[in-house]
Structure 1
Amino acid sequence: MRYNLKKIVPLLLVTVVMLSAIAIQPSSVNAAEPLDIEAESAILVDNETGKIVYAKNPDMALPPASMTKIMTEYLVHEAIEEGQISWDTTTQISDYAYSISADTSSSGVGLEQNKDYTVKELYDAMAINSDNATSIALAELIAGSEGEFVKMMNAKAEEMGMTDTEFVNSTGLANSSLGDNVPEGTDPNANNLMSARSSALLAYRLINDYPEALDVTKIPSAEFEGETITNWNWMLKHGEESSSLQQFHYEGMDGLKTGHTDLAKYGFTGTAERDGNRFISVVMKAESMEARFQETAKLLDYGFNQFENQEIFPAGYQLEDKSSIPVLKGKEDSVQVATDKAFTAPVRGEQADNYGVEYQFSEDAVNEDGEITAPIEKGEKVGTAEVTYNGDDDGYGYIMPDKNPKQINLVTQSAVEKDNWFMLTLGAIGNFFTDIFSTVVDTVKGWF
């Protein structure tokens, strides 16, 4: 059975908005004010540096509902990158996917069987309208079955460092609502689980690994099979036909994914960019559709209004008293060392003044006397410059678990050739006689 979503969806949206007494109002958070987010869990991440600037119960594992589809999107992009499929690859709809599409209680664009759909058509319906059946169809295409796709999802989550995460299906629906189609190897009564930190990490990876994903998530509405499908992200700039949603519009918003089930309540993984700065926000288990957008606006306002990305230490930075280290067996007596890249961080007020640098030389490169042996190549790593923070508040760490932006390579600034054998021999002879002379002097001093 087909439903005229062109008429139904806008009517539902307008009805919900009219019934709501809550509207997103522009907010401004002063530095002295605590940020009070009315959701069970939340997080805010600076996309350039991966620095977490706000967190509330970030590691609480909660049902993410349709925010699950961010992982499905990621694996579609990865399969295309690896040449397994293309945007033009076609597939047909299985009985399982069709049964979900025909269920009016969940998101559905009205798929038909015995008909070819391209990956692009299915992906757009999933990313824009949060369609569940298209998610299943893509999972089956890539992995052969949703059960095998779930294994891929969990393997990728582990690879990314997404702790407090377990996927049991590709859509975010409760397994109990799937009837006889529960993915093989999963608990029939289970739900997907993901923390706000893991959701932000997944969004960070999608945006940075496949930035073209935002070209789809920023679309407020589109045509599918002659019908209009609408993006459930009300913070996008919707058209005049959805003028009642304009109160939720947030400047710079271009993604990413909403989520809702009775158990999960209302969640939203959002992202917005202003003046070249991008933040990723997550709210989980908000009390209403409106609240998830209202709390997201608070988070993003806090990021854009309070923080400024500053280059704290430039590439080539040197500590004044350690700008060079002595060289053994080289044509030069010393070599300059400096950082190989800049350190940038989102800061507010005078926070930048609290950062410092400490050198940690590698035992493999520098001996216990602080000397390096020639030959030396330009750009050779000799240790790390550890960025320190001496203030009271340095945020909540970084979203990438396996990368430490505060640890910068310390490298040589020039090459130093090894001295020739004749000069090394003279040096050794000189050292020999110097040692003898020193011994004689010490002995003579001992006589008196």
Structure 2
Amino acid sequence: MTGLLLVTPVAVATSATQQGVQAATATSAPQVDASAAIAIDPQSGQVLYEKNADQVLPIASMTKMITAYIVLDQIKQGKLKWEQTTKPDAAIYKLSQDKELTNVPLQADKAYSVRELYQAMLIASANDAAMMLANLVAGSQKNFVDLMRQKVSQWGIKDAKLYSVSGLNNQYLTGETYPGSAADAENEMSASEVAIVAQHLLKTFPEVLETTKQTAFTFGPKTIDETKMATWNLMLPGQNNAPKDYVVDGLKTGTTDKAGDCFTGTATKDGQRILTVVMHANGSDKGRRFIETNKVMQYVFDNWQQTQLVKKGATIKPFATADVKYGRTKTVALETPQAIAMWVPKGTQVANVDWDYQVVQGGQKRQLTAPVKKAAVIGKVTPKIAGVTNRYLGTTPQYTVQTKTADPKANVFVLIGTGVREFFTNLF
């Protein structure tokens, strides 16, 4: 999907499932001065705003979110430890001395911990730190890029062009370029795909925000190389472009000549979190990527709200019960074991919700055969509200419908009686 998406709710026709929606009118979407942008709910992937979101563009250091995911996954699996150390190879040491690039100061013969390299990569966007982590995990830059390609493919991302672990253009990676890639090759993805990467990072490793919310840190503390490093995210509290109405605590900036100024941001207000991506922000202001991001975030927080459709443990009206054959009861109650929520424009009175239902067992009519266990999954549902965007990134969320209680098989005399009744019913 390209172009600008703007959702303006309309009245909803009566549904055969669960009551309707009273319309609300959203303010016109902002004019975002950037090549592409998107805003989503990071939990469900529901799209709340988009502009040219499927156009493939250079992503620069936003690449490091993929690198961070793989590093965190290696630590989770026990294959990597925070205090494990590694030294830079000759190529990385040489690159670290390039003052044109974002790096941390390295010594050729010094070992650095995974923790300090990880912090340097995410807070100060250090390219050399990302490359050292890649070598430690995979043995080479090429092998780590292969891991990156495999990971994004698992997430359903098809258009990614990945050549480096840092997001740098190949012209800066002498001796470290991906085999067969062009001399000026650079990582590329769409805003939608970058959002999917960030979504997976936040959902799988929410602790990443403990690092990305930091405005500064000290690299090589209590050594002759001790260096104070500052964040590039100027939307964090206390920074030049920090918003007053909500709190930003991540996620990753990106800048190259091709990519321009990019930013993947995440923010909360009143307990609700959103995720945004802005690519190649325009304008003369040095904070242009944050100015354009603020337009998107402010629009979403001003005009949208997350509304609970079904409480945890509650019944969805169209799927309240299932019939039970040969059970002690004729029906068993159903419930959803999780709360179900959806973003809707503010002022929308949720009354009518349609549900897409996917059968797991029992067929469309939900006919079970005893014995039936408690919490047996009967089906999966996805809410749909007319006039509200039903576009999701990645996999459309599905919520479980399960049995609320068990229903053991009836005793033999009841079963005999049931069989006799069925015989004569079928006979006549």
Give TM class, smaller chain.
0.7 to 0.9
The match for 2:20 is none
Matched to 1:342, the amino acid is A
* 2:97 equivalent to 1:102: yes
- Contact 2:160-2:188 at 8 Å conserved across structures: yes
The match for 1:372 is 368
Sort the Cα spacing of 1:359 and 1:377 in 2 relative to 1 into closer, same or farther, 3 A: farther
The match for 1:297 is 294
For 2:267 and 2:364, the matched residues in 1 are separated by: 49
Deviation at 1:353, TM superposition (A): 2.1
- After superposition, residues 27-426 of structure 1 pair within 5 angstroms as 31-224=26-219, 225-238=225-238, 246-248=240-242, 251-287=246-282, 289-318=286-315, 323-353=320-350, 355-358=352-355, 360=357, 362=359, 364-366=361-363, 371-391=367-387, 394-395=388-389, 397-399=391-393, 401-402=394-395, 404-405=396-397, 407-426=398-417
Deviation at 1:421, TM superposition (A): 2.5
TM-score between both structures, scaled by the size of structure 2:
0.86
Sort the Cα spacing of 1:304 and 1:350 in 2 relative to 1 into closer, same or farther, 3 A: closer
- Contact 2:249-2:266 at 8 Å conserved across structures: yes
- Contact 1:91-1:141 at 8 Å conserved across structures: yes
Sort the Cα spacing of 1:113 and 1:431 in 2 relative to 1 into closer, same or farther, 3 A: closer
Q: Deviations over 1:209-232 (max 9, x none)?
A: 112211111111222232221111
Deviation at 1:362, TM superposition (A): 3.3
Bigger share in strand: 2
Matched to 2:379, the amino acid is G
Structure 1 unmatched ranges of 5 or more:
1-29, 239-244, 439-448
Matched to 1:236, the amino acid is L
Matched to 1:37, the amino acid is V
Structure 2 unmatched ranges of 5 or more:
1-24, 220-224
Deviation at 1:97, TM superposition (A): 0.5
Deviation at 1:352, TM superposition (A): 4.8
Sort the Cα spacing of 1:426 and 1:40 in 2 relative to 1 into closer, same or farther, 3 A: same
Please state whether the residue corresponding to 1:211 is helix, strand or coil. coil
For 2:358 and 2:185, the matched residues in 1 are separated by: 50
Deviation at 1:167, TM superposition (A): 1.0
Sort the Cα spacing of 1:76 and 1:380 in 2 relative to 1 into closer, same or farther, 3 A: same
Q: Flag as ranges the 4+ runs of structure 1 deviating above 6 A.
A: none
Sort the Cα spacing of 1:414 and 1:95 in 2 relative to 1 into closer, same or farther, 3 A: same
- Contact 1:53-1:396 at 8 Å conserved across structures: no
Please state whether the residue corresponding to 1:232 is helix, strand or coil. coil
For 2:236 and 2:360, the matched residues in 1 are separated by: 53
Sort the Cα spacing of 1:332 and 1:119 in 2 relative to 1 into closer, same or farther, 3 A: same
Sort the Cα spacing of 1:290 and 1:315 in 2 relative to 1 into closer, same or farther, 3 A: same
For 1:309 and 1:321, the matched residues in 2 are separated by: 22
Higher relative contact order (CA 8 A, sep 6+): 2
Matched to 1:398, the amino acid is Y
Matched to 2:185, the amino acid is A
The match for 1:25 is none
For 2:339 and 2:307, the matched residues in 1 are separated by: 10
Question: How many matched pairs?
Answer: 396
What CA RMSD, in Å, does the superposition of the two structures yield over aligned residues?
Answer: 2.3
Deviation at 1:31, TM superposition (A): 2.9
- Contact 1:357-1:385 at 8 Å conserved across structures: no
Sort the Cα spacing of 1:384 and 1:271 in 2 relative to 1 into closer, same or farther, 3 A: closer
- Contact 1:64-1:264 at 8 Å conserved across structures: yes
Please state whether the residue corresponding to 2:67 is helix, strand or coil. helix
Deviation at 1:290, TM superposition (A): 1.7
Please state whether the residue corresponding to 2:188 is helix, strand or coil. coil
For 1:376 and 1:44, the matched residues in 2 are separated by: 43
For 1:129 and 1:320, the matched residues in 2 are separated by: 51
